[in-house]
Amino acid sequence: MNPTQWFTEKVPEAESAFSLKFKQKLHEEQSDYQFIEIYETEGFGNLMVIDGCTMLSTRDNFFYHEMMSHPVLYTHADPKRIWIIGGGDCGTLKEVLKHPSVEQAVQIDIDERVTRLSEIYFPELCESNHDPRAALKFIDGIKWVKEAKPNSVDIIIVDSTDPVGPAEGLFSEAFYRDCYNCLSENGMVVQQSESPLYHMKLISEMRKAMSAASFGHLQTLFFPQCLYPSGWWSTTIAGKVDLTHFREQDSANKSFDTAYYNVDIHKASLAQPEFFKKAFASK
């Protein structure tokens, strides 16, 4: 392959790599926090890359954004106040605001440049940025959560990069404890938990840290995500209350469009592969 035509992300933990052919590099910049690149690819629309890792593409971001939003919102009995920590591309915000119960959705990403570039290169994800229920803050999400008052929020969605660089603190017991403290009594936090094929150690550590932070109920969900290492991804929900049931009827009657999510997919995402079940059998 001619490397001048291909963007390649290497995945050291699997000694694998995923590449997309591009027509042109549309933009690159070093923000205050990270190195951001935007490519126009041949097959995946536009592609955002942060510090060398693929973040999202026009073609396949719907899996991730829908699965970060709809399962946890339909698991909560009455989600009104939502915070998105990270999520600067605004795709999660857009999905969250599809829920009529939501009264306030605050996106807190430390790097304003991610949002400004998303407005240019992924305008379809930013369609709801001016919804009167939406607020965009460009500050440190860890500090925001630490300083928040009890009962400030119903659901915290941690839509972050991998646990290196600015996002590292988002994968810690201290952060989950701060989440616990500002969530309402039946509150939930959901976080992307990487690949079940490559990152079982991370999933295990995340679950332990969430439990140690007093969350009594955990649920890991599985879904395809072509662009991310292994093509298979997960999110983990930590709840103060039982997560066994979700608002199935509401999900079945959802009033908005999706590309991947529906009530059957919600149930399916909860199915634990045999190796996963065995790994957590005694935990």
Check the annotation: does 166 bind a ligand: yes
Check the annotation: does 159 bind a ligand: yes
Query: Of 107, 230, 235, 251, which one interacts with its own copies (CB under 8 A)?
Result: 230
CB of 232 to its own copies, least distance (A): 4
CA distance 66 to 245: 19
Residue 262 as a binder of its own copies (CB under 8 A): the answer is yes
Q: Please enumerate in sequence order all residues whose Cβ is within 8 A of that of 102, keeping only pairs 6 or more positions apart, or say none.
A: 73, 79, 80, 81, 82, 96, 133
CB nearer to its own copies: give 212 or 252.
252
Contacts to its own copies from residues 170-229, by CB under 8 A: 197, 222, 224-226
Residue 178: CB atoms within 10 Å: 21
CB nearer to its own copies: give 165 or 224.
224
> DSSP strand E in 81-230: where?
81-86, 104-108, 134-137, 153-159, 183-192, 217-224
Contacts to its own copies from residues 79-108, by CB under 8 A: none
Residue 270: CB atoms within 10 Å: 16
Nearest to 88 by CA among 132, 50, 39, 52: 50
Q: Please confirm, yes or no, whether 131 is among the known catalytic residues.
A: no
CB of 71 to its own copies, least distance (A): 13
Residues flagged as binding site? 34, 65, 89, 109, 140-141, 159-162, 166
Q: Could you give the residue numbers annotated as active site?
A: 159
Task: Using CB under 8 A, list all residues that contact its own copies.
Answer: 1, 3, 6, 8, 10, 13-21, 41-44, 60, 197, 222, 224-226, 230-232, 257-262, 264-265, 267-275, 277
